[in-house]
Structure 1
């Protein structure tokens, strides 16, 4: 099945089973804004808990914060967002569609990669166990030709980004023959910069209102509170401040469902360190964050690090954790060494000293910062993409979300075999006993087979069937989602069986 078709099925599945809805749908929707349904909000909360606890519970020197969305407008001048928070945009004159110039070029690079990978895949199939991929990549003429094209384009692209050469970006698009996906034409405008911040007004009267911005990131709320947290918490460097919160960006080229939205949620941690030690901590957090992703069990080969072509104005090192979505490898988390840029800027613009006195060195300094920043919505999409599966069975096909049990919205579905003979009451007793520990669902509609399929599609890891034997010996049939195997167990053992599988402690053990 084509990757585009898989992605379309993912989007449809998310709506059909209560994960994600188009915002304001009854009014024909609002572009690039989405609402999370009854299943989606549970999965989203579980992802946030996994991140939060892994940061705050597992690290003695990381604490939490919840800063306001509205902030003093000078903060965004100090941070560089007013002057430098831009995307390079280009329009196609025929389709009237707007695109990010850098994304068009990244897609072209991905096409060269795909051509090389197809050649490798064909050769691997032809030669079997005797296939030497490294030697093939170094000697095959078609692979070498595409690698040369990739290298040349990559160098030009990197140079243009670092030099902020907008004309150079357009020239690359023209030289590569990149066409508009809608019109198929190469009739492009010049590339220009577009600021992504949403502006609004705060004040009781129009005359007295001041212009403020909806925050485009949560990090600045941490930076301006850094000294408050350090002093009140008696924190010693190195230490971190974690935050989960909403951010807003006026994305002109919002696309790929919830991958790029105008209102989204971030999970960010700013780690304050001594100057000179930041790159060591950068490497440590790279390793820590990759372990966090891989612990979910979606396949180590589906993750990779991607070094930035162009460093942000505040960074001296930056890398993305990328996951292989149905539409290719894309960023789910950024790890940046932000130097002392943010704190120094706020010290300058506010006129307040926000330095740290290091008792070991006997001196004060502006700390350096290593940041980990992950989008909740992208992580949500990554989990859904990795979990979605269509399995061909003997008589039919089942669609199943093989979510990690700890993240699954519903942990347990309890089903009476029939709606009589006291079986519904027995099922309710089981739910009443377990609902304080697990999110349970009662399901009595349709045949037991259809109920299993429905719970598979939701991603419920355990289904318990209450039958006539249950009333006699207090046992039930438990069915496991991924294997579809069933076993007879005592009702009294259900809490332990399920608890071991859905415990965050089990997941944290892999970190």
Structure 2
């Protein structure tokens, strides 16, 4: 990444991000991706527009230089060039190395995908915006292997699926956008790349990247390891190196997006306000709140809790008046609250309150499992 220092306050910045922030604040349209510019072009733009340091307000920067985002360390007890290692900046390469092993042992036929979730590390110049940009982060990546010539069709499929997945989990349509990379912005391995951006409280930011990596990675591993990475197609009776489509999602970033999109402060008809996390029921950490109307009903309400906690993460709360307990559950995003009242002893029914509509309905205790099975069902629209 292009790095530059402020000579006055010694803060470090990515030159491309400094330019992008300046252009955004001054409503200047920039053609193409700034990170594809040469160092000289970045320096000239910063000088021409007299861009100032965001920290101290001075215009006195060093030259732009390249900065390696990979963390370097040493394996073993000695520190010399022979045992230098790097923390992985992405999870993808472990999948490529094991492609043949997974394909053979699972007896998969092309097309198929290998997914992985795990830690990645990048020595970010300017981490910030809470968990949006950190030096240690969690990634979910899928490498989808397909026949050469079908890659752009699969690229379009995963591009649309990824967007639909986010919308199906209650992220608002106006908070999402596709951003296709132009030719100058494409990575060296990429035939096509699209980012799904989310409108965070601090502005638009990349959430999900979908890339057509072609056969670049498998060819590189084959060339340097001398291990055959070809796949034999039984139907076509031919060998080829598969192409790869990669949807890559930052777990920390999508968590922040779900929180940002779900947060709501609602004005009620009686003039009061309530804070609500409108999580999709499939995402809510606590699925059901069990609230006895009185502590005298604790024994029976506990039985309802035991029944449902076998299937769902439930929270039992008997402290405070019922209105405050509803508000507490709204604030942590619990989609449904069950109230066990004095009538429940006679009719063996409970009152279920919906978090979003605040509407209530009466349901038999024996029907609760089936009732919630339908409510918590999730599929991509």
Normalized per residue, the structure richer in strand is 2
Looking at structure 1, the residues matched to 275 and 293 of structure 2 have their Cα atoms a distance apart, in angstroms, of 22
Which of 194, 218, 221 lines up with 1:346 in the alignment?
221
How do 1:13-162 residues align onto structure 2 when only pairs under 5 Å count?
A: 87-111=1-25, 149-150=28-29, 153-155=30-32, 158=33, 161-162=35-36
- 1:207: how far off? 7.1
- 1:233: how far off? 1.9
Normalized per residue, the structure richer in helix is 1
- 1:333: how far off? 0.4
Give the corresponding residue for 2:377: 503
How do 1:161-310 residues align onto structure 2 when only pairs under 5 Å count?
A: 161-162=35-36, 165-203=38-76, 205-206=77-78, 210-309=83-182, 310=185
Q: 1:482 to 1:207 in 2, by over 3 A?
A: closer
Which of 389, 392, 403 lines up with 2:264 in the alignment?
389
Q: Could you tell me whether the CA contact under 8 Å between 2:284 and 2:335 is conserved in 1?
A: yes
Looking at structure 1, the residues matched to 236 and 294 of structure 2 have their Cα atoms a distance apart, in angstroms, of 73
Q: Could you tell me whether the CA contact under 8 Å between 2:172 and 2:261 is conserved in 1?
A: no
Looking at structure 1, the residues matched to 319 and 288 of structure 2 have their Cα atoms a distance apart, in angstroms, of 16
- 1:89: how far off? 1.7
Q: Could you tell me whether the CA contact under 8 Å between 2:350 and 2:364 is conserved in 1?
A: yes
Q: 1:293-332, CA deviations, whole angstroms, 9 ceiling, x for partnerless residues?
A: 1212322222111122511121121110111111222111
- Alpha-carbon RMSD across the aligned residues, in angstroms, is 1.9
Q: Could you tell me whether the CA contact under 8 Å between 1:265 and 1:375 is conserved in 2?
A: yes
Q: 1:327 to 1:248 in 2, by over 3 A?
A: same
For 2:131, what is the secondary structure of its paired residue?
helix
- 1:240: how far off? 1.2
- 1:265: how far off? 1.0
Which of 331, 351, 354 lines up with 1:477 in the alignment?
351
Q: How many residues align?
A: 377
Q: Could you tell me whether the CA contact under 8 Å between 1:109 and 1:154 is conserved in 2?
A: no
Q: 1:325-381, CA deviations, whole angstroms, 9 ceiling, x for partnerless residues?
A: 112221110011112111111111112221112234433222221111001111100
Q: Could you tell me whether the CA contact under 8 Å between 2:209 and 2:249 is conserved in 1?
A: yes
Which of 289, 293, 302 lines up with 1:413 in the alignment?
289
Looking at structure 1, the residues matched to 360 and 93 of structure 2 have their Cα atoms a distance apart, in angstroms, of 51
Looking at structure 1, the residues matched to 79 and 276 of structure 2 have their Cα atoms a distance apart, in angstroms, of 57
Unaligned 5+ residue runs, structure 2?
none
Q: Could you tell me whether the CA contact under 8 Å between 2:170 and 2:279 is conserved in 1?
A: no
Q: 1:228-248, CA deviations, whole angstroms, 9 ceiling, x for partnerless residues?
A: 111122222222111111111
Looking at structure 2, the residues matched to 328 and 468 of structure 1 have their Cα atoms a distance apart, in angstroms, of 50
Looking at structure 2, the residues matched to 180 and 446 of structure 1 have their Cα atoms a distance apart, in angstroms, of 51
For 1:171, what is the secondary structure of its paired residue?
helix
TM-score of the superposition, structure 2-length normalised? Answer: 0.93
Looking at structure 2, the residues matched to 88 and 197 of structure 1 have their Cα atoms a distance apart, in angstroms, of 14
Q: Does 1:446 align with 2:320?
A: yes
Q: Does 1:362 align with 2:276?
A: no
Q: Could you tell me whether the CA contact under 8 Å between 1:198 and 1:248 is conserved in 2?
A: yes
Q: 1:325 to 1:207 in 2, by over 3 A?
A: closer
Structure 1 runs (4+) greater than 6 angstroms displaced: none
Looking at structure 2, the residues matched to 452 and 499 of structure 1 have their Cα atoms a distance apart, in angstroms, of 22
Looking at structure 2, the residues matched to 174 and 400 of structure 1 have their Cα atoms a distance apart, in angstroms, of 47
- 1:467: how far off? 1.7
For 2:343, what is the secondary structure of its paired residue?
helix
For 1:413, what is the secondary structure of its paired residue?
strand
Looking at structure 1, the residues matched to 134 and 377 of structure 2 have their Cα atoms a distance apart, in angstroms, of 31
Q: Does 1:334 align with 2:209?
A: yes
Looking at structure 2, the residues matched to 498 and 361 of structure 1 have their Cα atoms a distance apart, in angstroms, of 48
